[in-house]
């Protein structure tokens, strides 16, 4: 891709790099140049965070995968040395089981695993196809240009997760706006905490209604765990909050960012537009997941016992950060890693993590992306970016990377 932005000045040789690195690469789809330089130097290096702490940054695929699968590596945010992303949010607790270790992590996760199993997700494919087709119908019936994020990328996963959970979609403006605050790095701790409490309070109210009048939805299933004494009301609320946020924010960003990446790689877009092979589409989704990683601030852990890896010893009580976007660009695993190649076998990527904490909703995200990428460009073959890419605002101010808006025309 052509140069777009200017690279930052290199760090002094002996300096401990600040993390996160500014995303000022010449290509907005690439990791920051400093990350790539560190990967070339070795698999692990110390970095400095906002609070002065110096965890280990893991930049190569093999070491990332090994640590993500190691029981001596803790996801519990209360573990000594855990590298926090920002100052603690006022009044915000753990985001349910993803910030816990086994056995409690496994116990809570099992309660909501069934709806995200591959067979259950595949049964939803026709409904997701109808949602995608309906939104495209609305686009074609309306004016051009439009913001693809607003009219397409965000509504799809929001509608799906609302249907699964039993959250009225009419409230999407409320929870989407509050989610934006919760994931915005420039928001104050008080703003993030207030947004989290507002959505949690709303979901707690819905759970209370399901306790009184159960329905055929996931909120009712979670509420049933309260009745059975398996969850407290707070635990149930945190679980619902996690599913609602993760169920719409991440996939929405992948839809928009993936579309922009395809616009910038028209030869690959043509392959996707012209194929009728579901297996090719599935493989294309895996390559886009490898090439574009939206959790750009890394998967964070703390080490509970000394671990020797990558020529270093990570001591108990030290933090580690696995930035999967640089792991997915490891040339030892993915040759020519900075090239988007939809014919590549990218199934080994770690976009969804690895080990017991890998993303619970990955079958749903994959299916949604497959439906989108197999439909949008066929139905609107002339779809294109309606502004210079230099004018597209990227979410460098958020915990989840993407674009704030994507103007498109046809």
Per residue of the chain (410 residues), what is the pLDDT tens digit? 444 444 444 444 458 999 998 876 567 899 999 999 999 999 999 999 999 999 999 999 999 999 999 999 999 999 999 998 876 544 445 668 999 999 999 999 999 999 999 999 999 999 999 999 999 999 999 999 999 999 999 999 999 999 999 999 999 999 999 999 999 988 998 999 999 999 999 999 999 999 999 999 999 999 999 999 999 999 999 999 999 999 999 999 999 999 999 999 999 999 999 999 999 999 999 999 999 989 888 999 999 999 999 999 999 999 999 999 999 999 999 999 999 999 999 999 999 999 999 999 999 999 999 999 999 999 999 999 999 999 999 998 888 999 999 999 99
Question: Which residues make Cβ contacts (< 8 Å) with residue 180, sequence separation at least 6?
Answer: 398
Distance of CA 210 to the CA centre of its chain: 29
pTM of full prediction above 0.85: yes
Asked whether residue 136 is domain-assigned, the answer is yes
Query: Could you tell me if 303 and 36 are in contact, meaning their C-beta atoms sit under 8 angstroms apart?
Result: no
Residues in the chain: 410
- pLDDT score recorded for residue 342: 99
- pLDDT score recorded for residue 5: 43
Q: Which two tokens stand for residue 350?
A: 């770690």
How many DSSP H helices and E strands does the chain contain? 15, 10
Asked whether residue 62 is domain-assigned, the answer is yes
- pLDDT score recorded for residue 96: 84
Query: Could you tell me if 302 and 82 are in contact, meaning their C-beta atoms sit under 8 angstroms apart?
Result: yes
Query: Could you tell me if 182 and 245 are in contact, meaning their C-beta atoms sit under 8 angstroms apart?
Result: yes
What sign for the dihedral angle of Cα 222, 226, 232, 233? positive
Distance of CA 272 to the CA centre of its chain: 23
Asked whether residue 28 is domain-assigned, the answer is no
What is the C-alpha separation between 44 and 229, in angstroms, rounded? 44
What is the C-alpha separation between 392 and 384, in angstroms, rounded? 13
Asked whether residue 232 is domain-assigned, the answer is yes
Q: What is the span of the domain harbouring residue 256? A: 33-409
Asked whether residue 25 is domain-assigned, the answer is no
- pLDDT score recorded for residue 1: 46
- pLDDT score recorded for residue 10: 47
Alpha carbon distance, N-terminus to C-terminus of the chain? 22
Structural domains of the chain, count: 1
Asked whether residue 15 is domain-assigned, the answer is no
312-314/307-309 β-pairing: antiparallel
Rg (CA), the chain: 21
180: domain CATH number? 1.10.630.10
What is the C-alpha separation between 219 and 237, in angstroms, rounded? 9
Per DSSP, what are the bridge partners of residue 74? 302
Asked whether residue 361 is domain-assigned, the answer is yes
Asked whether residue 2 is domain-assigned, the answer is no
- pLDDT score recorded for residue 293: 85
The dihedrals phi and psi of 236, each to the nearest 5 degrees, come to: -65, -40
């Amino acid at each position: 891709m052509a140069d777009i932005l200017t690279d930052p000045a290199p760090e002094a040789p002996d300096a401990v790099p600040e993390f996160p690195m500014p995303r000022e690469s010449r290509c907005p789809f690439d990791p920051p140049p400093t990350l790539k330089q560190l990967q070339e130097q070795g698999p692990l290096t110390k970095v400095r965070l906002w609070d002065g702490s110096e965890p280990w940054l893991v930049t190569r695929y093999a070491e990332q995968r090994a640590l993500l699968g190691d029981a001596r590596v803790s996801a519990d945010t209360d573990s000594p040395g855990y590298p926090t992303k920002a100052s603690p949010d006022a009044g915000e607790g753990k985001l349910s089981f993803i910030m816990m270790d086994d056995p409690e992590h496994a116990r809570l996760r099992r309660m909501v695993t069934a709806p995200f199993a591959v067979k259950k997700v595949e049964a939803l494919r026709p409904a997701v196809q109808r949602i995608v087709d309906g939104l495209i119908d609305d686009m074609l019936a309306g004016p051009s240009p439009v913001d693809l994020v607003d009219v397409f990328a965000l509504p799809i996963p929001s509608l799906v997760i609302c249907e699964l959970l039993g959250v009225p979609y009419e409230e999407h403006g409320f929870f989407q706006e509050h989610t934006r605050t919760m994931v915005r790095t420039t928001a104050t701790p008080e703003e993030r905490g207030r947004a989290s409490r507002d959505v949690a309070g709303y979901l707690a109210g819905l759970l209370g209604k399901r306790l009184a009048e159960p329905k055929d939805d996931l909120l009712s299933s979670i509420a049933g765990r309260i009745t059975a004494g398996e969850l407290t009301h707070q635990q149930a609320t945190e679980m619902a909050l996690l599913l609602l946020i993760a169920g719409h924010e991440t996939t929405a960003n992948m839809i928009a960012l993936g579309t922009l990446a395809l616009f910038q790689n028209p030869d690959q877009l043509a392959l996707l537009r012209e194929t009728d092979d579901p297996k090719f589409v599935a493989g294309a989704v895996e390559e886009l997941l490898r090439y574009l990683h939206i959790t750009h601030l890394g998967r964070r852990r703390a080490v509970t016992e000394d671990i020797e890896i990558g020529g270093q010893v990570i001591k108990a009580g030290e933090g580690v950060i696995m930035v999967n976007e640089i792991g997915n660009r490891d040339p030892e695993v993915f040759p020519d890693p900075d090239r988007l190649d939809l014919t590549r076998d990218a199934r080994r990527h770690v976009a969804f993590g690895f080990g017991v904490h890998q993303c619970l909703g990955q079958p749903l995200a994959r299916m949604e992306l497959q439906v989108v990428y197999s439909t949008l460009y066929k139905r609107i073959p002339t779809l294109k970016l309606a502004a210079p890419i230099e004018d597209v605002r990227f979410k460098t101010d958020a915990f989840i990377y993407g674009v704030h808006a994507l103007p498109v025309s046809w």
